[in-house]
A and B are shown apart, each in its own frame.
Chain A
Amino acid sequence: MTRTARVLIAAVLVCGASLPAQTGVPEIAFDSVDLLKMPRDIYVGEVAGVGANSKGQIFVYTRTGHPYATLGDNRTFARGGSRLFQFDAAGKFVRELGQDVYGFNAAIGLRVDPQDNVWTIDQAASQVVKFDSEGRIALVLGRKPETIAVRPNQPPAGQPARGGGGGGGGGRAAGSGTPGSSFSRPTDVAWDQAGNIYVADGIGNSNRVAKFDKDGRFIKHWGSTGAEPGQFNGVKALAIDSQGNVYVADAGNKRIQVFDAEGVFKTQFGNVGTPLTMCMTRGTTQVLYVSHAGDEDGMDDAAIYKVQLDGKVIGKFGSAGKLLKQFGLANSIDCRNENELLIGEMTNWRVQRITLKK
C-alpha cells in the first residue's frame, strides 16, 4: 500500500466515515442440512466452534452442561458450562473429549490445525487449549482467572467499577495491551506455515493479536483499542493466508485488517458488515468466508460473505432466522472444502452443512 493510500484511509477513519460500500453483491445459491445427530440424553447448546480434520471427523465446542460458581472466602470459582464433542463425517455423535477440563467455561471458538490438532478457545477461562489428534491436552495458552465475575459489571468489594467486559479478568486499562500470554476474553486462534500460533485477544480489555512460537513461547503482540489502522474494537477472528499475512476481524469497526507476520499494518477492507468469524480456504486461490451479524442475537440481520483476499466481495448467501439456510449468530465456519462449509450457530444451537452451488 502506498503512503498516500494509507494516509487517505486514516483520514477517512478519523472523520468517522465508514469504508466505501460495495454495491450489487450477487447472491450465491446453496443447499443446507442440519448436521448433528445427538444421542437421546446429550444436548448441543450454543455452537461456538465447529471444525473438521483431514479424516472428515467433526468437532464441536458448545456451551452446554452445568456451569457452577462456588463462592470462596474472597473469590468465586467457576467451572463447567461448555463441552467438546466429536462426530463422524455424517454428523453422528462419536464421543466427548475433555470432560471436566479446567478451562471449559464459556466456549467462543474451535479450530482444527493442519496436523489435525483441535484447539478450543474459551472466553470466560481466557484460555486456548490444544488437544492432539488422540484427544490429549498438548498445550495450554493463557491462565484461567482465579476468580471469574458472575456479575460482570459489578466490581469486587472495595474496588472501583470498570467498564464492560467482565468475565476475562485482568483489570488493565482498555487499550493498554497485555504483555505475554495472559488473555482477556480471547476469541480465535490461527497458525502460519512455520507453526507459529496467533491468538485473537479478543473481546475483553486487550484488543490485540498475540503471537507465539509453535511451543507456546510468547514472541510479540500488536494492537490496542481504537479505530485507527492497527487498532481494534473487538478482535473477533483470525485467518492467515499462504503468504503469512494475518487477517483480523475487527468487529466493532466493521472491517477486516490485514497485517504481515510481524504485525505491520498492510491494508483493510469493509463491505462485510460486522464480522463475527472468518474462514480462509486452503487452495491455490484462497478466499475468505466472513459471517456477518448485524444485531446482538443475529436474528434480524445476517449473511455470510465470500470475499477475495484483496477485499472484493464475490457474493453472499443466507439471511437471519431459524429455518434451514438461515443463520442465528453464525459464530464458526469450517471451509476445508471451499464449496462445502460447516456453519456453527450460537442462537440456533446447531451446525449446518452448506453446499454452495457454483
Chain B
Amino acid sequence: MGDRGNARVQVLDNALNWKANYPNVGNPWAVCVSGGPGPKNPGKQYLFVSNSWPDSAPAAAAEFTGEVYKMELDGTIIGKFGRAGKAPGEFATIHQMDCRDPNVIYTAEINDWRSQKILLKPKAALQ
C-alpha cells in the first residue's frame, strides 16, 4: 500500500497482518507489482513506486519530485527513472501505474493530463 502521507509503502499479508514498511520511497502516490511468470517475464516480480509531491506541500512541489523506483519485493531499490516535469519521460504526479510487464510501464498523471508508455531497458543500463 502506498501510504503517501506517511512517506512509506506498507506491506501486509493476505489476512491484512502488517509485515513491513519501506520508508525509502519519498511520498508514494502509486504502487504496482509486476506480473508473474509469462512469455516476457522470467518470473521475477518487481515493485514500482512513484514518488510525487508530499501531502503537506502544495501541488507546486511536483517540480521537485517525480521519480519512479524499481524495487525488489523486499524493499531494496534497484533502480529509478524519470523526474518531475512536463516533457516526455518526465512526470507530474503519477496517480496510478500499470506494470503487468516489468519493462513496459503505463503511467497516469494528474497534473499533465496524460498517460505515458514507458519502455525500460534494464540490460542496456548494465552495459
A interface with B by C-beta (< 8 Å): 102, 137, 139-140, 143, 170, 172, 178-182, 215-218
The reply to whether B58 and A180 form a contact with Cβ atoms under 8 Å apart is yes
Nearest Cβ distance between residue B86 and chain A, in whole angstroms? 4
The reply to whether A170 and B63 form a contact with Cβ atoms under 8 Å apart is no
Indicate whether A143 sits within 8 Å of B86 (C-beta atoms), given known contacts A170-B58, A180-B63, A182-B58.
Answer: no
Indicate whether A179 sits within 8 Å of B61 (C-beta atoms), given known contacts A215-B85, A215-B86.
Answer: yes
| Bound: A181/B58 CA distance, A | 9
Residues of B within 8 A of A139 (CB): 86
The reply to whether A140 and B112 form a contact with Cβ atoms under 8 Å apart is yes
| Bound: A218/B87 CA distance, A | 12
Considering only residues 33-47 of chain B, those with a C-beta below 8 Å from chain A are none
Nearest Cβ distance between residue A340 and chain B, in whole angstroms? 35
Question: Which among B58, B87, B112, B113 is the interface contact of A178 at CB below 8 angstroms?
Answer: B58
The reply to whether B86 and A218 form a contact with Cβ atoms under 8 Å apart is no
CB-based nearest B residue for A141: B86
The reply to whether A218 and B111 form a contact with Cβ atoms under 8 Å apart is no
Indicate whether A140 sits within 8 Å of B111 (C-beta atoms), given known contacts A217-B85, A217-B86.
Answer: yes
The reply to whether A216 and B58 form a contact with Cβ atoms under 8 Å apart is no
Residues of A within 8 A of B126 (CB): none
Known: A102-B113, A180-B60, A217-B86. 14 other contacts (CB 8 A): A137-B113, A140-B86, A140-B111, A143-B111, A170-B58, A180-B62, A181-B59, A181-B60, A182-B58, A215-B85, A215-B87, A216-B87, A217-B63, A218-B63
CB-based nearest A residue for B83: A217
CB-based nearest B residue for A171: B58
* B64-102 vs A, Cβ < 8 Å mask (1 yes, 0 no): 000000000000000000000111000000000000000
Across the A-B interface, give the 9 residue pairs with the lowest CB-CB distance, nearest first.
Answer: A180-B60, A182-B60, A216-B86, A143-B59, A215-B87, A182-B58, A218-B63, A182-B59, A180-B63
The reply to whether B85 and A181 form a contact with Cβ atoms under 8 Å apart is no
The reply to whether A179 and B85 form a contact with Cβ atoms under 8 Å apart is no
Return 15 A-B CB contacts under 8 Å, by A number: A139-B86, A143-B59, A143-B110, A172-B58, A178-B60, A180-B62, A180-B63, A181-B60, A182-B58, A182-B60, A215-B86, A216-B87, A217-B63, A217-B86, A217-B87
Residues of A within 8 A of B85 (CB): 215-217
Q: How many contacts between A and B, using CB within 8 angstroms?
A: 42
| Bound: A217/B89 CA distance, A | 13
Max count, chain A CB within 10 A of own CB: residue among B62, B63, B87, B112? B63
| Bound: A152/B111 CA distance, A | 24
Question: Which among B58, B60, B113 is the interface contact of A140 at CB below 8 angstroms?
Answer: B113
CB-based nearest A residue for B88: A215
| Bound: A218/B61 CA distance, A | 10
Residues of A within 8 A of B61 (CB): 179-180
| Bound: A283/B83 CA distance, A | 40
Question: Which among A102, A137, A140, A181 is the interface contact of B63 at CB below 8 angstroms?
Answer: A181
CB-based nearest A residue for B113: A140
CB-based nearest A residue for B85: A217
Nearest Cβ distance between residue A168 and chain B, in whole angstroms? 12
CB-based nearest A residue for B60: A180
| Bound: A326/B71 CA distance, A | 65
Residues of B within 8 A of A182 (CB): 58-60
Nearest Cβ distance between residue A288 and chain B, in whole angstroms? 31
| Bound: A182/B59 CA distance, A | 6
Residues of B within 8 A of A179 (CB): 58, 60-61
Nearest Cβ distance between residue B85 and chain A, in whole angstroms? 5
CB-based nearest A residue for B86: A216
Residues of A within 8 A of B112 (CB): 140
CB-based nearest B residue for A139: B86
| Bound: A137/B86 CA distance, A | 12
CB-based nearest A residue for B61: A180
Residues of B within 8 A of A178 (CB): 58, 60
Residues of B within 8 A of A140 (CB): 86, 111-113
Residues of A within 8 A of B60 (CB): 178-182, 218
| Bound: A219/B118 CA distance, A | 26
Nearest Cβ distance between residue B24 and chain A, in whole angstroms? 25
| Bound: A172/B57 CA distance, A | 11
| Bound: A102/B112 CA distance, A | 11
